[in-house]
Chains A and B, each alone.
Chain A
């Protein structure tokens, strides 16, 4: 239980953090559905919410999703608000219609929203009720992606926590296994898989799985690496199941990836020489790719608006490996335990900010005139119009950016706006 204690320990206050309270210009937790529904190929996400929820997911993702999406919204109407009994009946009817239309679905998530939380519609009871009805064809789970509870990537955290009880326990005396936690693009999973295999680490399981029937088994022999920094609750639940967290930098850039792989290699007692030999080709490729991008980025200043919780890790990568100057690193929520290694690597003079008052943050940003601003889609064009270069932060969660072979692509996401500005003569 010591790891659990560590995760819940009071936060150290060594490094000052600017905490603000005002308008938060961020997505809610529903947005994670955009990538989760593509990752888990037999799952469907049914948001129980308002027209706003439907419009949000469609606007955040709609233009990217041309295939029939595996998500939908049960839009609540006036009469659903009048009586909860009726709302439950309505929900059952909607789920029946949906499952009738999509017989290929094996796992259905009922996803709570701001309005469903406020009227206290109990989706966990609804999920139990509906699971009984549709068992064994379809398993029905629930989590909340509501914006009054969850910011953007926290939706994935909530979704993974809801899925964990579905993961079977592993045999207590079984061999050690590695679990990589957090949605990764399939190609990145394959890249990591090859490295783990070469290192002699096996078996390796990924969570969430590509198919809901391929849930990882979890127990005291499970050691897990987090692939994403926003999975605090998932980590806590895994530790409660007896799994062991392997703390590390997150696998962004050559150094981050090395550190992350090393955490697993050490847990498997892989000899140092062997570790170096295995990772050398990938690490060299990453370094070469980064050298090419460094021309555009070295010495340039960068300002992060809060978005995905990836910000401190990305800032570390940009400062350490590409010599960028950090002005402000904003994050919607700073998990000091999961990020302790990252925070140690960050320069001491950077302003860390948590939460947001967007108008005041924009004032600071304008005053600092950074070379590059990382921000959401609502702010990017207005800042460009003011003459600042921007990188849309949402692309950082929609692109393959982890590991050695994506390090150059990750750097390129930041370099491209600067390069583009230097090319354009209009």
Chain B
């Protein structure tokens, strides 16, 4: 048993629902008790879908157990077929139905429906949402994409499939549009984008493309591998998130398609590189960031953070173990050990210990960062209604790079404001407890109450780190009242780091009491 406060991923059948909901002409009959219908609201509320997901739940009850749950499944499947007339039916069981072992696949086939039935094995007690989505997409492709492509006319332009976008994906909607535009500029046709927006017929046509673009390996890697093995379609593996990654992606795609990428690369029109180089962005240099999400987004975000924003990556990790190998390799590039866990409490502990100046994470990390008073931007699923903006906001391609710049800078205190706060900390209106001026009056955690007691006790010397009270001071160390007061004069966005560095220095030097001298000695010791 695993003690879980919040979970990064739902069960595997929710992954299957994401595939069914993304597509057209597919219906999913899920053997499940009534409570499992909550999953509908993920799609209708978080993503604001105006249609119910194409899913029928059998909603068996306790009194049905041991008598006719199989019959209930058959009735639900035949009613769903009659009502929704799907071209393909997915059938499966959620965690509870898995225990009663009714064999939805066998029961559905016994109905002799005139459409393909795909029986999904979704081991709820071992696997999770991304795995379920990946498996479902793989089974759909395996079952439907059975006929090899007809030989193409010689004059035809090169073509590819874009694989992996689903319902409830982080910015999938806009990423696919952005990458389609990019491919179009390169003179490459998109044969099929799947699963999002794809029909059953589209899945059958997948083998017609020359190669595959795998935008979301968490969802489409296994299907792409099968297509490569079966039909020799190569896959593009670079995730075009960030300016450089987009350029790399273009090169990789152009090489596979045999087209010249030069004009697309030189006339990219992205503002991001200049925005990063312009002097206003100087203050971003060396900001310590913690990056966490699904492996693909986190790895890509870390590269952008270091090489395109000039941040320092102090922590990197993912919640999906399926991509642990890739994540470990990426973390090693930054001299880090990857944090691979789906234990929210462990992620929280790590962030509290590292005291980053910015967190790039999921909605979970947004909660953590809010509690710790650290700015945060969201880079990955699991998603929230805020991750489906009304405006066009891809995170991939050249426009995506612009979006990343804006989104990550927004929660931070801006350059000159940062200096002014450092110089005039006691201004009654303009002080760090008021938070960044562009984020309203409650931008950061400190409240009036913590400010009032600021000079009195150790507890309040780090009001911005509200959750890290004196217990977080390294053991055996005592801050002198003068030194704590001096520490409180350091703006909150660097105070955590100053405190940590000073304590590290003091303990290395064998000091027991931290004086003002020690504070400034540490500052010069760690000067960068």
Contacts and interface: CB of A to CB of B under 8 A. Distances in A.
A22 B60 CA distance: 9
Nearest to A114: B96
Given A24-B34, A146-B33, A379-B52, A91 B42 contact: no
Interface size class of A (residues with CB under 8 A): 35 or more
B50 interface: yes
B528 interface: no
A350 B244 CA distance: 65
A74 B94 contact: no
Interface string B45-86: 100111110001111111001000000000010010001000
Contact of B96 (A69, A90, A115, A380): A115
Contacts of A31: 35, 38
Contact of A147 (B13, B35, B123, B370): B35
A217 interface: no
Interface in A74-103: 74-78, 80-81, 87, 90-91, 93-94, 97-98
Nearest to B370: A66
B45 A55 contact: no
Nearest to B75: A22
A51 interface: yes
Contacts of A78: 123, 125-126
A309 interface: no
Interface in B20-48: 33-42, 44-45, 48
A414 B396 CA distance: 42
Interface in B151-176: none
B125 A50 contact: yes
Interface stretch (B1-9, B270-278, B317-325): B1-9
A63 B384 contact: yes
Contact of B3 (A55, A68, A97, A114): A97
Contacts of B61: 148-149
A23 B49 contact: no
B7 A51 contact: yes
A50 B2 contact: no
Contact of A385 (B51, B62, B100): B51
Interface in B296-325: none
Given A51-B124, A59-B42, A78-B125, A115 B95 contact: yes
Interface string A153-184: 00000000000000000000000000000000
A31 B38 CA distance: 10
Nearest to A357: B79
A347 interface: no
B50 to A, nearest CB: 3
Interface in A16-48: 22-31, 48
A263 interface: no
A51 to B, nearest CB: 4
A186 to B, nearest CB: 22
B366 to A, nearest CB: 10
A209 to B, nearest CB: 25
Interface of A: 22-31, 48, 50-52, 54-56, 58-60, 62-63, 66, 68-69, 72-78, 80-81, 87, 90-91, 93-94, 97-98, 114-115, 117-119, 146-149, 151, 359, 376-382, 384-385
28 contacts: A22-B79, A23-B76, A25-B40, A26-B35, A26-B37, A27-B35, A27-B38, A29-B35, A48-B1, A51-B11, A52-B14, A58-B7, A60-B38, A73-B3, A77-B125, A78-B123, A118-B96, A146-B62, A147-B34, A148-B60, A148-B62, A149-B62, A359-B83, A377-B40, A377-B44, A378-B37, A378-B38, A379-B40
Interface of B: 1-7, 9-11, 13-14, 33-42, 44-45, 48-52, 56-62, 65, 76, 79, 83, 94-96, 99-100, 123-126, 128, 367, 370, 384-385
